[in-house]
Structures are given as structure tokens and as C-alpha cells.
Structure 1
Amino acid sequence: MEIEIATIGGYEEVGRQMTAVRAGDDIVVFDMGLNLSKVLIHDNVQTEGMHSLDLIDMGAIPDDRVMADLDGEVKAIVPTHGHLDHIGAITKLGHRYDAPIVASPFTLELVREEIEDEDKFDLQNDLVAMDAGDSMEIGNGLELEFVNVTHSIIDAINPVLHTPEGAIVYGLDKRLDHTPVIGDPIDMKRFREIGREGEGVLCYIEDCTNAGRKGRTPSEQVARKEVRDVLYSMEDYKGGIVATTFSSQIARVTSLVEYAKEIGREPILLGRSMEQYSGTAQRLGIVDFPEDLKMYGYRHDINNTFERVMNEGKENFLPIVTGHQGEPRAMLTRMGRGETPYQLDEGDKVIFSARVIPEPTNVGQRYQSEQLLGMQGARIYDDVHVSGHLSQEGHYTMLDTLQPQHIVPAHQNLSARASYVDLASSQGYRLGRDLHATSNGDTIQLV
């Protein structure tokens, strides 16, 4: 069976992930993501109402026109998890393919909400939920399997396409977390089985975000302890405390909510995406927030909440807000610009329970946000966080576990992927033979 991989997006940047695997006459597409930095550059861009070609031209979504060169039919669109750099382009590109969108339940619900918000295209693709550990037949003689992984969002999976020539493991995004705060540990037992059954692993497509970072990525339990330590250090502070994190980081939000209550403050979730992700997780029964936890996504409700906080005393509350990357319209950025009823005073604490995404736009906007907050007297608590991506020891472990015949590094630009190339080379892989450094729009013929 002929096996061909099209590296469509995410091979020259962090974001707009999209990869297609053709096995015989059947094609499976993994991820259709948004490049958030390209959107953030344009403060007034509303992607919901934009045409796909305009978004392709500005580099915001994958240029999927290379798909016309693949001699086959798309049988499934498979997002790995619910981050926008993996699902944000489905509403712009998914309608071009007569194929179901297959995802884990939480991811699928986020895709459904994206489709409901879409203004330009009427997406009619079937939505199919599949749990980690399950599999389904795809096309002619292929099987799609979901293996449970741990990431900075719940319900993440690594899809595996089983072919007569061996397995294609799409390895974006994960860390080796054996003690997650929410959900099951990464299923290393199943990965090891896949590496040793049948024809083994033909190809491993790997996220190399932290490939240059020594050691291993800590568990989310470590971040949870850091959150507790930071908040307890502020237990006696009588001013304002504000926290921000990835809206999709439900485990982190859970920790912030829990420890806010323990130090005698009422947590409130503020911002559209904060309400979306946490509200969805609560509706699906994945997380059990306190019954009295308030979530507000609309500007009017948020301003009313801030007025209540100022009237009743900042020392009684802990707002958990959007804006960890300094996004121009996010709640924390607006607070730094003095555009909300919440007034920051000298000595107030702002906790960034998130790391800056390594893109120039994000770095610049986060710097500006911190400067604005500091000018109002806020004191910044930076990087109360652990990454959702493998570091070097995790990569060594995955290579030993899967023993792939071929490797395709992804999820970074070429210079950042060089660290992974060095790492894989030290394990006997050779560039141009079985280690494939590629670009957006390329195809790799494996069989």
C-alpha cells in the first residue's frame, strides 16, 4: 500500500497545524488549526466572518490547496485536542471535505461551538465522538485508534492510523504526566504495544516545542502545588489579587478556584473563552466546580461584576481572567489599560499561571501587558506554570517506546526543530533517510 504524508501547516511556525496521511486511496486529515499570532497582529480581525482564502493569504490558517495533489478521498478529519491552533480552521476548511470530524467528546463539543459561531460557511460534516482507547475502521483496510495522552487541556489524544505497512502515530501535543490533576495518565502501555505489534510504527509525527529543553516536563501536580504556594503566600494581603491562565487549562483553573476559596476569597471566571471552556467542561461533567462559582463572558456582565468587587472590597475576591498572552481585547489587558471598573492599586498582585507562547507577537504583547500593569503599581508573579509539551527526556522515552522507522518533526519553525533533529540523530536516525525535516505544503512518500 502506498503511504504518503502531506505536511500542510505547523511545519514553519507554532500554530495552524494540519497534516494529511494518504494510505492507498484513503486520506485522514489530522488537525485544522489557527495561527493565533497572525490574528493577534490585526487587533480588529474577526475570523468568524472572514473567507478562507483571505485567512490563508494572511497566514492564519493552513493552505490546504496541496490536498488536490493527493490521489485519494478524505475519510476523516481528526483534531487531537481543543486548542485553537488545532481546531480553529475547521470551520473555514472542513466544508471542503465530505468526511466526518472524529474527536474526543470535549474536543468535539468545542468544535461544535466553533461551528455555531461561524458566520461565513455552513459546515455540515458529521460530528463523531470517540473515546481514548477506542478505534474505528477507516476506508479500505485502515483502523483509526485514539491513545490517551496528557496535555494542558483535558481529553487530549494521539491518533494512530493503522495501515498494512505499519502504524502512523500523530504525536501532537503531549507531556508524560503520570499523575494528572484531571483525567487518566498517559497510556504508555498502549504506545509500547503499538511499537511492537504487527509491522510496528512506520512513522511518528512529533511535536518538538521543548526539544531543546533538558530533563523532563513536570506533572500538572507540580503546577498545582506552585499555585497553592503562591496563593497561600498572599493569604494575609488585604488588596487585590488577579490571576490569569490558559482558558483551556481546566486543571489549572480548578486549582486556582480551590485555593482561592481556601484563602478566603471568592473566585470568579471572567472572559469569553474562560466561560466557554470551563462552562463546557462543567456541562459535560468532566469537572465539578463549586455550585456558587460565577462565570461571565459578556462585557456588560463582566463590568457589573467588577463594580460589585470594587463596592464589596477587592480583598474578598480573586478574579480569574483571560489575557495571559497580552491579547489586545482580553480582560487582563483591558484592566492594564484602565478600561474596566476594576482599579489596580500599588502592591496589588497579578499571577500569570502561564508561559509566553514562543512567537514574537505573543512575546511583544505580553511585555506590553506587564508594563501597563506595572505602571499601575501591580506586582507580577510570573511563570507559575508547567508546560504541556515534552522536554528532551520525554522525547527519548517516546522514541524508545515506539521505535519508529521514520520521524517527522512538527509544531515549530525550522530553527526550533533543529534541536529535535539533533536529538533524533543521537538515536541513530539520519536526516534525509528516515528523519524528515520538511516545510508547509510538502509531501513525503514513505511507501
Structure 2
Amino acid sequence: MEIEIATIGGYEEVGRQMTAVRAGDDIVVFDMGLNLSKVLIHDDVRTEQMHSLDLIDMGAIPDDRVMSDLQGDVKAIVPTHGHLDHIGAISKLAHRYDAPIVAAPFTIELVKDEIQDENKFNTENDLVTMEAGETMPIGDSGELDLEFVNVTHSIIDAINPVLHTPEGAVVYGLDKRMDHTPVIGDPIDMDRFREIGREGEGVLCYIEDCTNANKKGRTPSESVARDRLKDVMYSLEDYDGGIVATTFSSHIARVKSLVEFARDIGRKPILLGRSMEKYSGAASRMDGVDFPDVEMYGRRQGIERTFQRIMNEGKGNFLPVVTGHQGEPRAMLTRMGRAETPYELDEGDKVIFSATVIPEPTNEGQRYQSENLLGMQGARIYDDVHVSGHLSREGHYQMLQALQPQNVIPAHQNMKGFSGYVELAGNQGYKLGRDLHVTTNGNVIQLVEE
């Protein structure tokens, strides 16, 4: 069976992920993501009102025109998890394909939200829920199966999809860390990865997230981040001024920890910001996590009233958990730094960044500016109370040993970011141009000819 891989987006940057695998006459698309940094540099951009071609031209979503070079029909669109760099273009591109969107339950909930918010296109693709550990047949040949393997990441319900073909498995390895003690959900299923590497024809191709491939050692568990956050929060138990926290809105495990520790130190947690309400609300609806009696406000009017209530009743009684960990210009924390909200920061107030800066120049610049603005208001910063959601070098070695793939394609980075992965794959016997394929957006790699 002829096998081709189209590397459509996410092979020159961190963001706008999209990859297509053609096996015979059937095509499976993995991810349709947004490059948020391309949007944030424009103050007035509202993606839900924009045409896909304009977003393609500005580099915000994948240029999927290379799909016309693939001789086959798309049978499934499979987002790996609910981060916008993996689902943010579905509402712009999925309607072009007569194929269902197949994803884990929490991801489907978030895809529904994206489709509902869209103003330009009408996305009517069927939404199919599949759990980690399950398999379904794909296409018309009767020879392809799609499997979801449970992985751990900085969002719940993350999976690595595997397309089983007669020529071997194609494992799409974005995004994960090797977490054996997660705060929510099951550990990464390394046993299943090892089985896939040794059954049938083995692994024909492994497409891997290289975000942290230049970092030595291993990425710690989320339980480590929880302990660090607990240490910081408990150290502030006797502080009677303002404490504000920010983290990735999609990081439900981290939000859960913030809520619990706020209550432990006698403060009422309140979740503020559109994306904070969106992700935590979706998790509550599907019983992914319980947020008992936690107030959430996503609309500006509700947020302003809540800030005013906090000021009236005393900042020492509350922990607002707000958006803005990357310094996004319109996010709550950035507006607080610019003194544009009723919440007044005083000298000595604490701001906890339970998030790291996404390694991209726009984010780094905006975060630097945000921290400076907060500091000018008198705030004291607790930085990087966080662990990454991505594998470091030792995790990559473990995955290669588990899967023993015939071919490897680095993804989710630029050329500089690929360098660490090229080195470590080389140490495992892979060679550039032979079985290690460093590529760019818009390319097609033929792995098996008819």
C-alpha cells in the first residue's frame, strides 16, 4: 500500500499543526491548528470573523492547498487534544472535507465551542467521540484502523493517534510528556506504545513533537508542579493583600490545584476571562473535573463587577485566577497591569505565573512587557511555577526505544528547535535523508511506493 505524509503546518514553527497521512486511497488528517502569535500581534483581529484565505496569508492557520496533491479522499480529521494550536483552524478548514472529526470527549467539547463561535463558515462535519484505548476502522479498504493511545499533557484527554496500515503503524506523537503520576487522568500508556512497536510490521513512521528536544533530562510530572504551587501558596497564607494567579486556561489540572490551595489558605477562588470560563466550563459539563461552587466569569461586564466586589470586600479574601500568562494584550492580567480594571494592585501584592513563556518571540516580548507593567504597579512576581507539557531529551529516547520506528519526522518546532532532536535521533542510528526526515510546511514525503 502506498503511504505518503503531507507535512502541512507546524513544521516551521510552534503552532498551526496539521499533518495528513495517505494510505492507499484513504487520507487521515491529524490536527488543524492556529498559530496564535500571528493573531496576537494585531490588536483588532477577530479570527471568527475572518476568511480562511486571509488567515492562511498571515500565517495563522495551515495552508492546506497541498492536500490537492494527495490522490485520495479524507476519511477522518483527528485532533490530538484541545489546545488552539491543534484545533483552532477546524472551524476554518474542516468544512472543505467530507469527513467526520474524531477526538476524545473533552476535545470534542472544545471543538463544538470553536464551531459555535465561528461567524464565517458553516462546519457541519459529524463529531465522533472516541476514548483512549479504543480503535475504529477507517476508510473503504478494510485495511486501516485508527487507535487512540492515552498520553499525558498540559490538558486533559490528550491522546496520540495511531493509524494502523498493512505497511506498519503511523504514530502521530504530538503533544505529550511522560507523566506517571498525573494530577487528573491516567498515566501515559507506555505499555501500549511498546506493544505497537513490536506487533505486526512495527512502526513505519513516528511524527514527534520537538518542543523541548534541546532540553536535557526529563520533564517532571504535573504532581511536581502541584507541590511547587502548594509551597508558594501556603507561604502566602498570612499575607492579607492581593494575590492574583494566572495559568493556561486549558490546564484543568493546574486550575484545579489553584482552586484547592486558595481555599486551603482561606481565599475564595474566582475564574476570570473568556477562555478560563470556556475550558473550565467544558470540563465541568463532561464531568472531567469537579469545580464545586467556583464562580466563573467570561464576559467583560461580569468580570468588571467581580473586580469591584473584590475591592469592596477586601482583596485578602479572594484569589482571582485570570487569563494573561503570555502577556496577551487583551487578557485580564495585562489589563490589570495597565490599570484598566477596577482591581487595584498595591505595593507588595503577589502575582503568580503558573505558566512558562511559550518559546516564540511575540510571546516572549509580550510577557516581558506584562511583567514590567505589573512591577510598575508594585506587584511582586512569582515566575514559572510550572512544569512543561512536552517531552525533554530523555523522554524522546524512551519513545524511540519503545516504538523502534523505521522512519522519524520531527514536528512542532522550527529548524533551530529540530536540532536537538536530530542529534538525539542520530545517536539512536537514524540518518538525515535516509530515515530521519526534517521537513517544512507544504511538503509530501513518500514512505512506501506501490
State the partner residue of 1:378.
379
Report deviation, 1:305: 0.4
> Structure 1: how far apart are the matches of 2:342 and 2:127?
41
> Structure 2: how far apart are the matches of 1:281 and 1:222?
22
Q: Which runs of 5+ in 1 are unaligned?
A: none
State the partner residue of 1:21.
21
TM-score normalised according to structure 1 size: 0.99
> Structure 1: how far apart are the matches of 2:151 and 2:318?
34
State the partner residue of 2:124.
124
Runs of 4+ in 1 over 2 A off after TM superposition: none
Per-residue Cα deviation, 1:346-383 (whole angstroms, up to 9, x for no partner): 00000000000001000000000000000000000000
TM-score normalised according to structure 2 size: 0.99
Q: Secondary structure at 2:357's aligned position in 1? A: coil
State the partner residue of 1:153.
155
State the partner residue of 1:327.
328
Structure 1 residue corresponding to 2:180, chosen from 155, 168, 178: 178
Kindly provide the amino acid, as one letter, of the partner of residue 263 in structure 2.
K
> Structure 2: how far apart are the matches of 1:110 and 1:147?
20
- The reply to whether residue 288 of structure 1 matches residue 290 of structure 2 is yes
% identity of equivalent residues: 80
Cα RMSD (Å) of the superposition?
0.4
TM alignment of 1:156-305, pairs within 5 A: 156-290=158-292, 292-305=293-306
State the partner residue of 1:345.
346
Q: Which runs of 5+ in 2 are unaligned?
A: none
Report deviation, 1:415: 1.1
> Structure 1: how far apart are the matches of 2:125 and 2:260?
39
Q: Which 10-residue stretch deviates more, 164-173 or 279-288?
A: 279-288
- The reply to whether residue 98 of structure 1 matches residue 98 of structure 2 is yes
> Structure 2: how far apart are the matches of 1:325 and 1:43?
15
State the partner residue of 2:316.
315
Report deviation, 1:5: 0.2
Report deviation, 1:165: 0.1
> Structure 2: how far apart are the matches of 1:70 and 1:231?
53
> Structure 1: how far apart are the matches of 2:102 and 2:302?
35
Q: Secondary structure at 1:362's aligned position in 2? A: helix
Per-residue Cα deviation, 1:179-215 (whole angstroms, up to 9, x for no partner): 1000010001100000000000000000010001111
Kindly provide the amino acid, as one letter, of the partner of residue 397 in structure 2.
Y
Kindly provide the amino acid, as one letter, of the partner of residue 409 in structure 1.
P
Kindly provide the amino acid, as one letter, of the partner of residue 405 in structure 1.
Q
> Structure 1: how far apart are the matches of 2:309 and 2:230?
26
> Structure 2: how far apart are the matches of 1:22 and 1:43?
39
> Structure 2: how far apart are the matches of 1:117 and 1:378?
35
- The reply to whether residue 48 of structure 1 matches residue 48 of structure 2 is yes
Per-residue Cα deviation, 1:230-273 (whole angstroms, up to 9, x for no partner): 00111111100000000000000000000000000000000000
State the partner residue of 1:365.
366
Aligned residue pairs: how many?
Answer: 446
Q: Secondary structure at 2:53's aligned position in 1? A: helix
> Structure 2: how far apart are the matches of 1:111 and 1:312?
38
> Structure 1: how far apart are the matches of 2:285 and 2:441?
37
TM alignment of 1:400-415, pairs within 5 A: 400-415=401-416
Q: Secondary structure at 2:417's aligned position in 1? A: helix
